[in-house]
Amino acid sequence: MNKMSAAILPSEHHAAPAWRQEVRGVADIRYACSGGITRLAHLAHHDPLRVLFSKPAEGDAAQATLVNMSGGLIAGDRLDIKFSVGENAAALCVASAAEKVYRSAGDTAHIAVDLHAGQNAWAEWLPQETIFFNGARLRRTTRLHLAPGARMLAGEFLVLGRIASGETVTQGYLRDAWEVRLDGHLIWADALRMDGNFAAAGNAKAGLNGARALATLVFAGSGAADYLEQARGFQQACADTVLASASYVNGVLVMRWLAAEPQALRAGLGQFWAAFRHQAAGLPAVLPRIWHV
């Protein structure tokens, strides 16, 4: 286990109440290419995480579906997820449903995602929404590790509050960080941190400017710079209520979305992902069926 991803800051850790047991979910999924065909090479999962498999569309990459059987994260829970696509292989991992992070009275929930792509591999990490309840505490780190010639498309999608219930997030703790490494060298890092008064940052024009949903996608690896203008063109197809932008930084194509309505952002994000994967990898312009359930 990566020692950095496993660390819990002392100021964020409190003894769990005697009446509950903290969740420690683990999933380790590895694909390899043999004879020109991508196959599952290794699978390990531990409650509450489960990994399921479905038949991909004709001509599509291999697919794994990640399921959290617990229904969400409570204070102090932790998920460690590793998804690896070996040399010359192509595979996608998708979440089965939105992840929920519940209110915490003290402890912080942790999600560590480590994504690996071998030489000349294609890998996709397609989670669904993470719903951040009022008063929740979450530290999430998504790390991308690429070998020379590899390409990876990965995203995260965050919704602040239970919109249908009229909930507004006014307080909590959130640190959502990214790291991208190419051949072992850190080439891009980014972190969103909100602590305490969410309303001030959420409503500020220099902050979220009233947005209740935000998403980040990164495309890293061979030829990423060539897709900047195409990415911007695909983003223009989003609804007028969705703000979107794309930039290229040190070998990484970074795309962001903001919206007051999560459903509008979800629709735009799905359309973008389908179009982009087709353009960049020649894969079908469709998402796994579980995305539409």
Cα separation, 5 vs 2, in Å, equals: 5
Condensed to tens digits (0 to 9), the pLDDT of residues 226-235 reads: 999 999 999 9
| pLDDT for 21 | 67
Beta bridge partners of 275: none
- pLDDT tens for each residue of 188-202: 999 999 998 887 777
CA–CA separation, 293 and 287 (whole Å): 11
Q: Answer yes or no: are the C-beta atoms of 232 and 246 closer than 8 Å.
A: yes
Strands 185-197 and 37-46: unpaired
pLDDT per residue rounded down to tens, the chain (293 residues): 333 333 333 334 444 444 456 789 999 999 999 999 999 999 999 999 999 998 998 999 999 999 999 989 998 999 999 999 999 999 999 999 999 999 998 899 999 999 999 999 999 999 999 999 999 999 999 999 999 999 999 999 999 999 888 888 999 999 999 999 999 999 999 999 999 888 777 777 767 888 899 999 999 998 999 999 999 999 998 888 999 999 999 999 999 999 999 999 999 999 999 999 999 999 999 999 999 87
Query: Is the omega angle on the peptide bond into residue 48 within 30 degrees of 0, that is, cis?
Result: yes
Which residue in this structure is represented by tokens 């060539």? 226
| Domain spans of the chain, in order of start | 22-292
Question: DSSP states of 74-98 as a string?
Answer: -TT-EEEEEEEE-TT-EEEEEESS-
Q: Containing H/E element for 273?
A: helix 262-281
